[in-house]
Amino acid sequence: MDYKELVKDCLKGKQEAQRKLYDLFAASMYGVCYRYTKSVTDAEDVLQEGFVRVFNNLHQYRNEGELGAWIRRIMVNTALTYLKQNKRYSGDLSYEEMNLHPVSAENPAINLQVKELADLIRQLPTGCQAIFNLHAVEGYTHVEIGEILGIHEGTSRSQYARARSIMITWIEKNNEAIKQRRYAGE
């Protein structure tokens, strides 16, 4: 697929090209949006707002790097903005420095499927969920996360450790139940 031509056609206002761009990236970007929100409706709202931003800022794409990565970054930023602006999430977005018990370096002895892991991540408190997604999934450093969220690097580290600790505890507790559901064909 020649994304340069597609972008040029989108910038010329060709609806066919805009639809094609949307169709190419909507499903994967919906997954990004869904990871940061707590409902399908919220994820759809973020996706819609994200694509409005994509089309409004497409002139800034310089054909350097992957188009999908550029769109993904817009979706992540849109999701974070949505979390900050939505009253339902604002009380849940706490990034407190806290002392945590050290997390074991050992991974739990379970091989989670992607959907099971995504479901666990979505159950984290919103602040932890955002930081976990930014660091573990999107690959941002704690310094970058601090800049994005307006928090200290140490706060990002402690929230990530908290999220990781919660995830490990849940996985260890539910190891047998997850295996049984998987073997039962759920």
pLDDT for the residue 178: 59
Residue in 26, 37, 31, 29 with CA at minimum distance from that of residue 130: 37
> How many Cβ atoms sit within 10 Å of the Cβ of residue 127?
21
Residues 68 and 124 in one domain: no
**Helix or strand or coil: residue 89?**
helix
pLDDT for the residue 156: 93
The CATH number that applies at residue 28 is 1.10.1740.10
User: How many independent structural domains does the chain possess?
Assistant: 2
Domain that holds residue 122: 114-184
The low-confidence residues of the chain, meaning pLDDT below 50, are: 93-112
Residues 12 and 85 in one domain: yes
Residues 84 and 119 in one domain: no
Does residue 108 lie within any of the structural domains? no
Residues 148 and 80 in one domain: no
User: How many CA atoms, within 13 angstroms, populate the side-chain half-sphere of residue 110?
Assistant: 21
Residues 146 and 77 in one domain: no
Does residue 106 lie within any of the structural domains? no
